[in-house]
Chain A
């Protein structure tokens, strides 16, 4: 019927390889974790201690079997078989009328199973043995058989898959670790924000992010190698984890420097003050500690930074060993740390300077806000930096603050398409004759206020 297209095949058509220093996502069953590959340092997945030496040089997307604390490469065809063998079972005909829970159905004793485990028998063989020695297995319904297999496989076959972090995987990971950590920003809400703000390469976006840099990372991912993000944060300095998800994207240092700058929201707000105040501001960011509002303020900055140094890479990237070392660190180490700290501060000041220059033009292409603070003032302030005819999206875990924000924006009269929405996301179990919505679902993915900024109506009145 139709001819095939002529097209250029991609020149970089190779699988990406896992390297030392990469941020990766380790996934097992329903748990996943973000870690940085370091062949000398153990990573933790739940209570499981893992050494990652075995994954270096293997392609992303590979499966590995956990033996002790080491990871062993698993042939892709084999891992796929394991994944799908459980999922598909034929329509059931038997029922469970003869099943009695008497604790005698398994003929293998605990000791025998232990023996198998320590004897170096693979997980799959153990499960096979268990099935063979289960008196009730063949009487179970197909569904129950599948469930049994899954349960035993989970217990004895310990496979993990190593994935390259993407917005989708990061979002899934953070959400599964505790939705409140990221303000309940569910994947569908994040997706709406990116679409409603028309995030694309070459765009310039203002991002206010209270979720480990997840929103910032999502925008950055869609910029490719051109455009820019001004990441605005509350308080005088950023929190230590404000770019955790950003670093997870494994972008080159230079690229990150080109695309991303940070700025305290107070500094952004100062840009909007009348010019008389501007002069003082200007000095402030050159020598931030001497001038400025008050001594108290700078002390606060110091205290905050001190605290941040300590919990660098908190929670998600597990670095317990690292903390232990801290206590015994040598003097030389300390001074190196001081230096690194000074470097970071200098970089932050550079970023602030550039960020201010970018914002001052008031020609940004979009505003995205996920905040732990009340959104109204943040939005009213940051909206000033948007060019007309540019969209914005504000997320909140709660509905009422967005109602307030909606009213203030309506009163101001500089927005069109102002909409308060939420999305409802439901996942399905799809199996032959057993398809139904998932038993548990997330009750809310938060609320979204979206709109488009326009020039205010001043001289024009409806005739």
Chain B
């Protein structure tokens, strides 16, 4: 399986995305003979092999979709070993670093490899990604993943403390990405790694104090075009909404007045008659579920009902009530050798 070349049919050994529902998605390595337990029952790996990507596969008590794994889907399902970057930031990083096939990128640190997959996809098949992390286990896990995902030729991963030692590469990089606690310590070590045509650098930091120091280091280091950006995703839920109108015409106002006068009389017969009329006016008995039945005969609710009218439902994009408010600041800069 390879992240960098589409394939139509699932093969034994592919890592695929299994989609049960939007909140139940799994990256799954297909191994003949194995069984994957889902909330819809057992899913035999053998029943997936040979299927076309994008098709339905049968579980014992339902079905699932099998999808081709892209870096963006991998970001949603990968095992977290660290905090990861998500697609809104990743996509901006790739565009702002001017990445395209053939480019050489240096990354520190590798973390869980969320960004690395997207970088590798963009620079493939002729580019190179050198990625470093000071954590030994993370390095070896990431290396295995890159190999398994067909990125072995494009990605080189190594244990290294880039903050202290720089990249250890000379005259090679078109772009650099730093996700380090003290990027300002690493920046003076970066110059030698850029190729002679220069290149772009991005530093990701969650805190503004880090950004402050980073920008100073970039100025001192002769970088130009220094910009700091913040990019947030605002998702919308698309749904049907219906808000009943309040009718405030003269006619309605007269009617409500009548109701209040009648209830003062206390004549129950008239009350019933009027209620019927009001209901036909409001078209739908279910208007305002909130008004409980026991209250429905009260004066107040009758007046309210006589003023309301069910409107047609509209489709609307409703912003999510709670969203991530901060991920990190992205500082970009251009390096030119003098």
Contacts and interface: CB of A to CB of B under 8 A. Distances in A.
A55 B228 CA distance: 30
B100 A4 contact: no
B7 to A, nearest CB: 10
B230 A425 contact: yes
A196 B87 CA distance: 8
B317 A10 contact: no
Given A1-B165, A76-B336, A389-B68, A195 B100 contact: no
B79 interface: no
A23 B216 CA distance: 34
Contacts of B338: 76-77, 80
B104 interface: yes
Interface in A55-105: 59-61, 76-77, 80, 83-84, 87-88
Q: Is the interface of A mostly helix, strand, loop or mixed?
A: mixed
Contact of A455 (B55, B91, B215, B317): B55
Nearest to A87: B219
Given A426-B230, A455-B54, A420 B98 contact: no
B212 interface: yes
B121 interface: yes
A387 B54 contact: yes
A457 interface: yes
Given A80-B336, A221-B100, A424-B231, A14 B197 contact: yes
A3 B132 CA distance: 12
B196 A455 contact: no
A383 to B, nearest CB: 12
A15 B337 CA distance: 10
Report which residue of A167, A391, A460, A462 has the largest number of chain B beta carbons within 10 angstroms of its beta carbon.
A460
Contact of A13 (B90, B195, B238, B336): B195
A224 interface: yes
Nearest to B22: A417
A166 B174 CA distance: 14
B55 A388 contact: yes
A256 interface: no
A453 B4 CA distance: 19
Q: Is the interface of B mostly helix, strand, loop or mixed?
A: mixed
A84 B54 contact: no
A61 B229 contact: no
Interface string B203-215: 0000010011001
B6 A15 contact: no
A463 B62 contact: yes
Contacts of B229: 425-428
A114 B102 CA distance: 51
Interface residues of A, number: 85
Interface string A400-442: 1011101100100000110111111111101110010000000
B198 A61 contact: yes
A200 interface: yes
Interface stretch (A38-46, A183-191, A315-323, A333-341): A183-191
Nearest to A16: B197
A327 interface: no
Contact of B219 (A84, A200, A223, A423): A84
B101 interface: yes
A203 interface: yes
A84 B217 CA distance: 12
Interface in A358-393: 363, 365, 387-391
A355 B262 CA distance: 75
Interface stretch (B153-161, B181-189, B248-256, B299-307): B153-161
A107 B158 CA distance: 62
B101 A166 contact: no
Interface of B: 4-6, 8, 19, 22, 52-56, 58, 61-63, 65-68, 70-72, 87-88, 90-92, 94-96, 98, 100-102, 104, 118, 121-122, 124-126, 128, 130, 156, 158-161, 164-165, 168-172, 195-198, 208, 211-212, 215-216, 219, 222, 224, 226-236, 238, 315-317, 329, 331, 334, 336-338
7 contacts: A2-B158, A2-B165, A84-B222, A194-B94, A201-B124, A225-B101, A428-B329
What 3 pairs across the A-B complex have the smallest Cβ distances?
A388-B54, A224-B101, A389-B54
Given A9-B171, A410-B238, A424-B233, 11 more contacts: A5-B169, A7-B128, A7-B169, A188-B91, A190-B95, A195-B90, A225-B101, A390-B54, A404-B315, A428-B228, A435-B211
